[in-house]
Amino acid sequence: MEAQAVLEAKATLKYARISARKVKIVADLIRGKDVSEALAIVKFTPKASSEIIEKLLKSAIANAENNHNMTSSKLYVDQIYANQGPTLKRIRPAAKGSAVRIRKRTSHITIVLKERN
């Protein structure tokens, strides 16, 4: 039994200024879909993260075609995940001289594409 090497193309966006929770909503919609279908879904989804994911998906497709000689018609979204990045902590003045901490969350988004046989 010889292990067959499966080609995969990957694109990663680090320190995206959007929380991972918001990205996961759109990521769940396109996981397992063909690339053309995934692009159509992302294009017409009215969420803040859809624009970011669309750009990242196009980058992953370009990586597959140029670096791994894969055909774009056979590609599908094998994995897509958003992990939490570092949180930017800011302070906002509040009542009676106190302060409230504002957490500006970031995320690391990764897309992995594979070819269907």
Q: What is the pLDDT of residues 5-64, one digit of tens each?
A: 678 999 999 999 999 999 999 999 999 999 999 999 999 999 999 999 999 999 999 999
Q: What is the pTM of this model?
A: 0.88
Pairing of strands 88-93, 75-84: unpaired
What's the mean pLDDT in 79-84? Answer: 96
Q: What residue ranges define each of the domains in the chain, with the CATH number in brackets?
A: 8-115 (3.90.470.10)
Round to whole Å and give the CA distance between 14 and 65: 22
d(CA 77, CA 8): 10
